[in-house]
Amino acid sequence: MERCQKDYKNAQEIQASARTLSPQKRKQICDEVARLYHLIEGTPDKDLPAIRFDLKGRAAGQWRLRKNAETLRFNPEAFSLEWDQHFPETVAHEVAHSLVYRAHGIRRVRPHGPEWKGLMRALGFPNPSVTHATALTTRTMRQYDYVCGCGPQPLSARRHFLISKRGYRYQCRQCGQWLRRSGSGCS
């Protein structure tokens, strides 16, 4: 879907639309994963890694190894916003990570080293890219309002947890007063 095809009412609607990826596009990605594995390894479909479309944040794709199980994760927002920028290169990028692992193991090679670059070339990408330029929404961190003699001091959710549940105390670096929770709650 091209960016400007539809008139959106607000930024939230744009973000909601970007987080969804049509079943046809998901199938295209899954088919491309299978094609790339067959191209290099002749891998049977039963040996393909799990494919998920739940990645968020700045990354467009991710190859993951947990408990000897491989997973390919893709960011639906990236593919929705700029399909042509990510398909098929991002798919090949993550498949190449998996194939490098299968050939060399996890500890023997650099993630984007010569082995990965060689596989990307074999997959049809002569100038493989490590990063992308798609502007993606990033996760917003919740902040909690605290105060001292200097005024309001927003603290991260982690520090708020340490104060409220573990009894930690923090002092302001400027005035030296102990930070205390303001009455307004979190932002």
In a 13 Å sphere around the CA of 141, the CA atoms on its Cβ side amount to 9
- Is the distance from CB of 134 to CB of 169 less than 8 angstroms? no
In whole angstroms, give the CA distance from residue 165 to residue 142: 17
Opening angle at CA 48, ends 47 and 49, nearest 5: 115
Q: In what order do the strands lie in the sheet with 151-156?
A: 151-156, 143-148, 180-186
Residue 94 annotated to the active site: yes
| Residue of 77, 82, 89, 94 with catalytic role | 94
Burial 8-30 (b: 16+ CB within 10 A, else e): eeeeeeeeeebeebeeebeebbb
Per-residue confidence in pLDDT tens, the chain, 187 aa: 333 333 444 444 544 555 688 999 999 999 999 999 999 887 777 789 999 999 988 889 999 999 989 999 999 999 998 899 899 999 999 999 999 999 998 778 888 999 999 999 999 999 988 888 777 776 667 889 999 999 999 998 889 999 999 999 999 989 999 999 987 555 4
Write down the pTM of the prediction.
Answer: 0.65
In the chain, domain spans:
11-122, 143-186
Name the architecture of domain 11-122: 2-Layer Sandwich (3.30)
Question: What Cα–Cα distance (Å) separates residue 129 from each residue in 3, 75, 91, 111, 113?
Answer: 23, 17, 12, 12, 12
In whole angstroms, give the CA distance from residue 174 to residue 170: 12
Backbone angles phi and psi of 18, in degrees to 5:
-70, -25
In whole angstroms, give the CA distance from residue 33 to residue 61: 12
Among 90, 38, 89, 95, CA closest to 64: 95
